[in-house]
């Protein structure tokens, strides 16, 4: 039941005691009726206002109830939202964790991808290298096939050459047999001219030098000092006997002021063959070594004299008719010197005919010292130009007082200070034999200087 203030006011008046009513009338006299009417009017308005207020309160309560209900709903919704937010937050955290895992996996995948790319690059390089090696192998195989074809062709040519050489060898053997017969006849015819009786030469114990064939002693031949070469093992080998016969034969035929004079041949009490020659003062090699140790150069006059003497001796050998003689071992060890009391060189002579041979019979490779050897020395066929090359190595040695060195040949020649001499040496050491002058041409160049 709603609260009504106006009714409460009326009922209150009714409930008042009689004496209180009298008092009220006393309070409100008749003269103030208008005022009372106004008051009643105000009470009615107040009552209306109270009703309005009551209605407003009812509306407010209703609105409050609705608001509370709505607030409860909103609260519920808020709780639901919070719950949902919490769930979303949890999902977010889960997603963050998952995202972190995915990032880690992604990084790992990137690393793996990088490694795979690196491996792929390495594989690509390896494939490229293998392809290159494959191509090189193909090219090499192609070259081998070509070489094989060339070898087959060369073998065919060699077979043909071998057949030709066999025929030529057969012819040479026949010619050699003829030469042996001729040589035997020649030895028989010349033996009486240069072979003398045993005991004609007195040999001292003074050794002038030693070599592969034996030793050279100082001796006396009818009051004249001579050099005596003794061959210790000559009777052991027929080949060595042939070599000695060749040297003796060549020496007996050679007569020239610049060749060591062959005097005679004989035998000692042990039946060893002796070759007797004139006695010289010293070897050119010894003189050059002495100057080299003292870091001195030979005088130009001495160097020119020795160079010209050796050139004259070689020119004589090369001009022998009908068969020129090639020395094939020109070196400072095989040039002997005659010196005066002051130690100055008066004459140089070529010695040691051990490697010399007639031009048409030169059929052995590398006959002399390697440091003087011409490029064609390794072949079996030689001509006098072989000596020309060795001669100019010797001239270079004389002017710089240093043994020839094939590895420094051009640098050694460049050290020769005399221009004309250097030009002679450069011409004579040409690689091609055809480009070298003859020894007679060399003598002409020296005489012009």
DSSP 3-state assignment of 408?
helix
Instruction: List Cβ neighbours of 361 (8 Å cut-off, separation of 6 or more).
Output: 179
The token pair at 257 is: 């002021």
CATH number of the domain residue 373 falls in: 1.10.510.10
Q: Give me the helix-helix angle, 238-253 and 33-194, nearest 10°.
A: 70
- Which H or E run contains 265? strand 262-267
Same domain, 227 and 287: no
Task: Please check whether residues 352 and 439 belong to one and the same domain.
Answer: yes
Q: How far is CA 326 from CA 307, 358, 362, in A?
A: 18, 6, 8
- Reported as a single tens digit per residue, the pLDDT across 317-352 is 999 877 788 888 899 999 999 999 888 999 999 987
Same domain, 272 and 348: no
**E-strand spans in 46-148?**
none
Do 329 and 194 reside in the same domain of the chain?
A: no
Which of 225, 253, 279 is the last residue in one of the domains? 279
Query: What pLDDT shows up at residue 171?
Result: 81
The answer as to whether 32 is a domain residue is no
Compute CA distances 295 → 189, 282, 283, 288, 318, whole Å. Answer: 52, 20, 19, 10, 35
CA–CA gap between residue 425 and residue 442 (Å, rounded): 9
Q: Is residue 131 part of a domain?
A: no
Cα angle: 246, vertex 233, 332; to 5 degrees: 60
CA–CA separation, 278 and 263 (whole Å): 7
Tell me, what's the pLDDT at 362?
52
CB atoms within 10 A of CB 205: 6
pLDDT score of 332: 93
Is residue 393 domain-resident?
A: yes
Q: Is residue 143 part of a domain?
A: no
Structure tokens at 249: 């034969």
Of 371, 388, 327, which Cα lies nearest the Cα of 353?
327
Cα distance between residue 63 and residue 57, in whole Å: 9
Q: What are phi and psi of 138, to 5 degrees?
A: -60, -45
Characterize 148-157 residue by residue with b for buried, 16 or more Cβ atoms within 10 angstroms of its Cβ, and e for exposed. Answer: eeeeeeeeee
Residue 307 belongs to a domain = yes
Residue 333 and residue 351: Cα distance in Å, rounded?
9
Domain end, chosen from 279, 294, 311, is at 279
Tell me, what's the pLDDT at 13?
A: 46
Clarify whether residues 442 and 299 are in a common domain: yes
**Is the domain of 445 the same as that of 298?**
yes
The residue among 232, 234, 258, 257 whose CA lies nearest residue 247 is 234
Q: Does residue 49 lie within any of the structural domains?
A: no
Both 200 and 254 in one domain: the answer is yes
Token look-up 């064609």 returns 376
User: Helical H runs in 195-283?
Assistant: 238-253
> Same structural domain for residues 444 and 307?
yes
Structure tokens at 32: 């103030």
DSSP 203-214: EEEEEEEE-SSE
Note the pTM of the prediction, 2 decimals.
0.56
Q: Does the residue 431 lie in any domain? A: yes
Pair 207, 218 in one domain = yes
Q: What is the distance of C-alpha 67 from the center of its chain?
A: 101
Residue 8 lies in a domain: no
Instruction: Give the three-state DSSP class for 218.
Output: strand
Strand partners, 267: 273
Query: Do 382 and 418 lie in a common domain?
Result: yes
Please check whether residues 271 and 402 belong to one and the same domain: no
What is the domain range of residue 251?
A: 189-279
CA distances to 117, 119, 121, 156, 306 from 108, rounded to whole Å, are 14, 16, 19, 69, 90
pLDDT number for residue 286: 92
Residue 226 belongs to a domain with what CATH number? 3.30.200.20
State whether 296 and 401 are in the same domain. yes
Q: How many helices (H) and strands (E) does the chain have?
A: 10, 10
Domain boundary among 279, 311, 327: 279
Total of domains in the chain = 2
- Measure CA 435 to chain center: 35
Beta bridge mates, 337? 282, 348
User: Per the structure block, which two tokens stand in for 167?
Assistant: 């025929």
- Please give the chain's pLDDT, 449 residues, in tens: 445 554 444 444 445 454 444 444 455 454 567 888 888 888 888 888 888 888 888 888 888 888 888 888 888 888 888 888 888 888 888 888 988 998 999 999 999 899 999 988 998 898 999 899 889 888 888 888 888 888 888 888 888 888 888 887 888 778 767 666 655 555 455 444 566 766 678 889 898 887 666 789 999 999 999 999 887 654 446 666 666 666 677 777 788 999 999 888 887 777 777 889 999 999 999 999 998 887 788 899 999 999 999 999 999 999 987 778 888 889 999 999 999 988 899 999 998 765 566 544 455 555 568 899 888 887 756 788 999 999 999 999 999 999 999 999 999 999 999 999 999 999 988 888 899 999 999 999 999 87
């Amino acid at each position: 039941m709603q609260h009504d203030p106006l009714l409460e006011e009326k009922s209150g008046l009714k409930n008042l005691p009689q004496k209180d009513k009298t008092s009220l009338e006393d309070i409100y006299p008749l003269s103030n009726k208008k005022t009372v009417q106004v008051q009643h009017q105000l009470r009615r308005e107040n009552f209306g206002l109270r009703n309005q207020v009551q209605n407003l309160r009812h509306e407010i309560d209703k609105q409050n109830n609705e608001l509370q209900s709505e607030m409860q709903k909103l609260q519920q919704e808020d709780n639901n939202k919070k719950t949902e937010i919490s769930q979303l937050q949890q999902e977010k955290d889960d997603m963050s964790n998952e995202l972190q895992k995915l990032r880690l996996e992604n990084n790992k995948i990137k690393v793996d991808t990088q490694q795979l790319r690196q491996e792929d690059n390495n594989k690509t390089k390896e494939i490229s290298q293998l392809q290159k090696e494959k191509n090189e192998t193909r090219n090499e195989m192609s070259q081998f096939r070509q070489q094989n074809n060339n070898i087959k062709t060369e073998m065919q040519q060699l077979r043909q050459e071998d057949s030709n050489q066999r025929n030529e060898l057969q012819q040479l053997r026949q010619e050699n047999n003829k030469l042996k017969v001729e040589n035997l006849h020649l030895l028989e015819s010349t033996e009486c001219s240069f072979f003398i009786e045993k005991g004609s030469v007195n040999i001292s114990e003074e050794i002038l030098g030693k070599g592969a064939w034996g030793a050279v002693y100082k001796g006396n031949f009818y009051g004249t000092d001579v050099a005596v070469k003794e061959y210790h093992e000559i009777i052991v080998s027929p080949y060595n006997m042939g070599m000695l016969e060749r040297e003796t034969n060549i020496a007996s035929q050679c007569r020239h002021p610049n060749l060591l004079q062959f005097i005679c041949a004989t035998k000692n009490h042990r039946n060893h063959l002796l070759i007797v020659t004139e006695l010289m003062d010293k070897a050119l090699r010894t003189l050059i070594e002495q100057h080299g140790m003292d870091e001195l150069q030979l005088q130009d006059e001495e160097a020119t004299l020795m160079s010209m003497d050796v050139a004259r001796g070689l020119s004589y050998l090369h001009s022998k008719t009908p068969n020129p003689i090639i020395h094939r071992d020109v070196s400072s060890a095989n040039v002997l010197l005659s010196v005066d009391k002051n130690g100055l060189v008066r004459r140089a002579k070529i010695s040691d005919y051990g490697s010399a041979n007639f031009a048409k019979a030169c059929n052995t490779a590398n006959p002399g010292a390697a440091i003087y050897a011409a490029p064609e020395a390794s072949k079996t066929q030689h001509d006098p130009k072989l000596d020309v090359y060795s001669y100019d190595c010797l001239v270079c040695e004389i002017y710089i007082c240093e043994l020839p060195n094939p590895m420094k040949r051009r640098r050694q020649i460049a050290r020769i200070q005399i221009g004309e001499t250097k030009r002679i040496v450069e011409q004579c050491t040409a690689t091609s034999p055809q480009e070298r002058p003859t020894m007679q041409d060399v003598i002409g160049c020296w005489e012009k200087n």
